[in-house]
Amino acid sequence: MKAQQTGLVVRGHGRHYVVEDDNGERVHCLTRGKKSDCVVGDRVRWQRSSDHEGVIEKLEPRRNLLFRQDEWKTKSFAANLDRLLVLVAAEPQFSESQLTRALIAADSAGITTDILLNKTDLPQAEAARQRLAPYKAMGQQVLELSLKGKPDEARETLMPLLEGRSTLVLGPSGTGKSTLINLLVPDARAQVGEISQALNSGRHTTTTTQWYWMDAERQTALIDSPGFQEFGLRQIPAPELASHMADFKPYLGECRFHNCSHRHEPGCSVLVAVEAGKISPSRYRIYDELWQELSSPPRY
């Protein structure tokens, strides 16, 4: 009988996982039965079943889980995160709705987000900066850099933020995620190869979440996740939405009705704040759209 060990899930797909043991060795593991509820970042207890394979016996309790929930599917990004880094760029133009959704999902999971505006070397940077102004104004950290134009400066900006933490990188394709990983994880390719080898799949796939160690001591991690089309927030009841939006928070509890939806009620302090320009029209529009989405029954 082989002893149980602790491990970290560094990749998952269906019932197949790659678990890293405490020495950094990566082993292909299966879950028992049909269960496959582990995600990248999970701590597990597992046991060797052969020289090359193991079985996950138990999932340790999670500190947090970042996920999105569409009408039919729940999709996990990763567990036990210290930080979320949302990457946007001067070009292609980012969706403010997607950005807001990521911020809300992270807030409801208790994870702090930093926004990274990349490609500040491009002339479109000014417009992007203006679209991010409401986020800065609500106290959200927004960093600006040019990963390609000024890589050394970018590294200096990012390192204090990342050091000793596990950070998930999210962002639409074309914003510079791969550039970021390659800048900060010099042996990224080798790490991908090692994980593919453990799975015996040979090929690198960008359709799964990938865990990267930035240092030999395995203290600082970047987690790269595949792109997505929709960012559903069905896990959040519509009446809770505003409490996850930093620019709405100061006005909550001041409305005439305690169950105010902040959409049409008289004596609504949020609507007063919108009128006064204290909440940006775009943020309010996104709130309104989300409210409708979350309070409508699923489409059949």
End-to-end CA distance of the chain: 50
Number of chain residues interacting with ligand GDP (CB under 6 A): 16
Q: Does 122 bind ligand GDP (CB under 6 A)?
A: yes
Q: Does 208 bind ligand GDP (CB under 6 A)?
A: no
- Residue 197's binding partner among Mg ion, ligand GDP, Zn ion, none (Cβ under 5 to 8 angstroms by kind) is none
Q: State which residue, 43 or 177, has the beta carbon closest to Mg ion.
A: 177
- Residue 237's binding partner among Mg ion, Zn ion, ligand GDP, none (Cβ under 5 to 8 angstroms by kind) is none
Q: Which of 5, 36, 124, 178 binds Mg ion (CB under 5 A)?
A: 178
Distance CA 58, CA 38 (A): 9
Distance CA 3, CA 20 (A): 16
Q: Does 182 bind Mg ion (CB under 5 A)?
A: no
Q: Does 226 bind ligand GDP (CB under 6 A)?
A: no
| Secondary-structure percent of the chain, ordered helix, strand, coil, rounded to 5 | 30, 25, 45
Q: List residues bridging with 59 in a β-sheet.
A: 44
Kind and range of the H or E run holding 288:
helix 281-295
- Residue 283's binding partner among Zn ion, Mg ion, ligand GDP, none (Cβ under 5 to 8 angstroms by kind) is none
> Distance of CA 156 to CAs 85, 151, 153, 183, 262, Å?
16, 9, 5, 11, 42
Closest by CA position to 170, among listed 219, 213, 114, 124: 114
Q: Quick one: which segment of 84-92, 120-128, 172-180, 288-296 binds Mg ion (CB under 5 A)?
A: 172-180
Site for ligand GDP in 148-177 (CB under 6 A): 148-149, 171, 173-177
**Which residue ranges make up the site for Zn ion (CB under 5 A)?**
255, 260, 262, 268, 270
Site for ligand GDP in 102-121 (CB under 6 A): 118-119, 121
Residues binding ligand GDP (CB under 6 A): 118-119, 121-122, 146-149, 171, 173-179
